Structure 1
Amino acid sequence: MYLANKKINIVSNNKSVSKETERILKRKLEKSDFIVTENFEPNADLIICIGGDGSFLRTLHKYNFPDIPIIGINTGHLGFFQDLSPRELDEFIFKYKKGDYRIDEISPVEGLICTGNSCNEILGINEIVIKGFKSRTIHLNLSLAEDFLEKFSGDGILISTPTGSTAYNYSLGGSIVDPRLNLLQITPIAPINTIAYRSFTSSIIVPEHATIKIFPEYTYENSVLIVTDGTEHRYNETVEVQVRLSELKIKLLRFKEYNFWNKVKEKFL
């Protein structure tokens, strides 16, 4: 399989090492007969994101979770999403031209935030977090579909995808989940567990078709803070939040030797 003359979008953050990597990569791709677009092309064949994990997530959000395979080059710190380093550009081009790769699909998490007069949809690759505004204790009634689960009290709850299980979820003590599993993980953030308030203190795993419903109770104000992949949104008079796995698929370009658990050991152990 020979993939020359294919369009490639390159997206980079503003760090000098990223811009230099972008310049070198563009020259190498064009020398190999690829077309590197000046502006983001929704009909391109590949997105290459240069930066760290934050840049990778911002790229997907900025371009509305495009139906184009994406791969990352790490010029940041952890680089869990990024599969390449700047020194692997030639190897990447060689393998890509031969078609020596696979496409892994992951599902974002989808939230529907309903206020008194409207509903707003949000998506997250890693997670959706429901918190109290100004870090106040929040009280949330949780249900799985129509089955009441608990009245949570604490700083908030995080609902993560398997892909996001190694991010904020992991720092809260949640489980690392193999991304080949389709499920959602509910992880409490500083739960209160006393005579007055009883909350789960560990993660809850729910199946892929589950709908998680959250009904806030208000004491001091009538707003909640929704955080998706690190970006905050404040919604006033929120009456219900529904969270489920999205039917949308994000396509990650992987080399055939990619192994999730090897990456976990490399980055965390």
Structure 2
Amino acid sequence: MKNRIITIHTNDTPVSLKTKRLLAKKLEGSGFIVSESLEGDSELIVCIGGDGTFLEGIHKFDFPKIPFIGINTGHLGFFQEINPNQLADFIFHYKTGKYRLQALSTVKATVINDNDECFEHIGLNEIVIRGELSHPVHLNISIGGSFIERFSGDGILVATPAGSTAYNYSLGGSIVDPRLKLMQVTPIAPMDTTAYRSFTSSILLPCDLSLGVIPEYVTKHGIKITTDHLEYNYNDIRHINVEFSDKVVNLLRFENYDFWTKVKSKFL
């Protein structure tokens, strides 16, 4: 019989570590092998913590094809599917196949510097382009190869539908049903004066269009690119291209999951 391996990723809070020990005991009692690393034949990744721990696990394991499920021991827990008191129910539903997979799109930023070096960054929630040390930036923005505007402000955020309820929502962006495949470009503290004219509301783009960004270096400060929780600083960017990635994150969802019910319970 093939070994059934489940990988567990957790933060180091006492409640998460306690939940991890209890879950590992229950899984092993149900015939599973528990691992903290991503074995070649792991069939599921369980993230114990909050949304930050969930995103950390996705990046740690480099957006694998195998599905994730979250156990919420944090605060908001929007991605997390179950609570620590539902471990037995989770194992039963998983073993009996009473679940479905929710495929979440990701967004990719390709950065080209003055030396023609190329760097790629992928985010499940969003990619943020802003100035270092909170300095304002001037960004020449194009959509599908057509110039749109010279944006001035703190920066821009490009969110996936999954990330529309995160930082994007705090900036006044729209909540988007994850069944829609689109990118949302939301300005961060845009300047809209007689000297600087910038869009002040979100822009929605279909999945086949890309966003081009060319920074203007009017000061010595560089550009910071953030993908979910990870930060990268550049001082010599020639061009940034933001588009949908071909990587997909599969979330395990039980039969009673509904996106808008989740939104209501977490935000209203």
SS at match of 1:196: coil
Letter in 1 for 2:47: C
Partner Cα separation in structure 1 for residue 126 and residue 192 of structure 2: 24
State how 1:117-132 maps to structure 2 within 5 Å.
117=115, 118-132=117-131
Tell me, yes or no, if structure 1 residue 17 matches structure 2 residue 15.
Answer: yes
Question: Partner of 1:59: helix, strand, or coil?
Answer: helix
Partner of 1:136: 135
| 1:79 alignment partner, SS class | coil
Contact 2:135–2:221 (8 Å) recurs in 1: no
Structure 2 residue matching 1:123: 3-state secondary structure: strand
Structure 2 letter corresponding to 1:203: S
Structure 2 residue aligned with 1:53, among 51, 54, 64? 51
Q: Is the 8 A contact 1:71 1:252 kept in 2?
A: yes
Q: Does 1:37 align with 2:35?
A: yes
The residue aligned with 1:246 is 245
How far did residue 94 of structure 1 move? 0.7
After TM superposition, the structure 1 = structure 2 runs for residues 226-241 of structure 1, keeping only pairs within 5 Å, are 226-241=225-240
Task: Please show how residues 187-266 of structure 1 align to structure 2 within 5 Å.
Answer: 187-221=186-220, 223-266=222-265
Q: Tell me, which stretches of 5 or more residues in structure 1 are unaligned?
A: none
Q: With structure 1 as the length reference, what TM-score do the two structures score? A: 0.97
For 1:241 and 1:40, the matched residues in 2 are separated by 32
The question of whether the paired residues in 1 share the 8 Å contact of 2:9 and 2:36 is answered with no
Query: Which residues of structure 2 form unaligned runs of 5+?
Result: none
Residue 76 of structure 1 is matched in structure 2 by 74
Aligned residue pairs total 267
- Deviations along 1:202-236, one digit per CA (max 9) or x if unpaired, are 00000011110001011112621101102211012
Change in Cα spacing, 1:222 to 1:137, as seen in structure 2 (3 Å) is: closer
Between the aligned residues of both structures, percent identity stands at 54
Q: Does 1:169 align with 2:171?
A: no
User: Any idea what SS the aligned residue of 2:55 has?
Assistant: helix
Partner in structure 2 of residue 65 of structure 1: 63
Alignment partner, residue 151 of structure 1: 150
Counterpart residue type for residue 147 of structure 1: S
1:20-62 CA distance string (max 9 Å, x none): 1010001111111111125331420000010110000000101
- For the residues of structure 2 that align with 1:36 and 1:255, how far apart are their CA atoms? 21
Is the 8 Å Cα contact of residues 183 and 207 (structure 2) preserved in structure 1? yes
Structure 1 Cα separation of the partners of residues 130 and 6 of structure 2: 39
3-state SS of 2:54 partner: helix
Secondary structure (helix, strand or coil) at the match of 2:247 reads coil
1:157 touches 1:187 (CA, 8 Å); kept in 2?
yes
Give the letter aligned to residue 18 of structure 1.
Answer: S
**1:130/1:37 Cα in 2 relative to 1: closer, same or farther (>3 Å)?**
same
The 3-state SS of whatever aligns with 1:107 is strand
Instruction: Give the letter aligned to residue 178 of structure 2.
Output: P
Q: Does 1:88 align with 2:86?
A: yes
TM-score for the superposition, normalised by structure 2: 0.97
- In 1, the alpha carbon distance for the partners of 2:104 and 2:122 equals 13
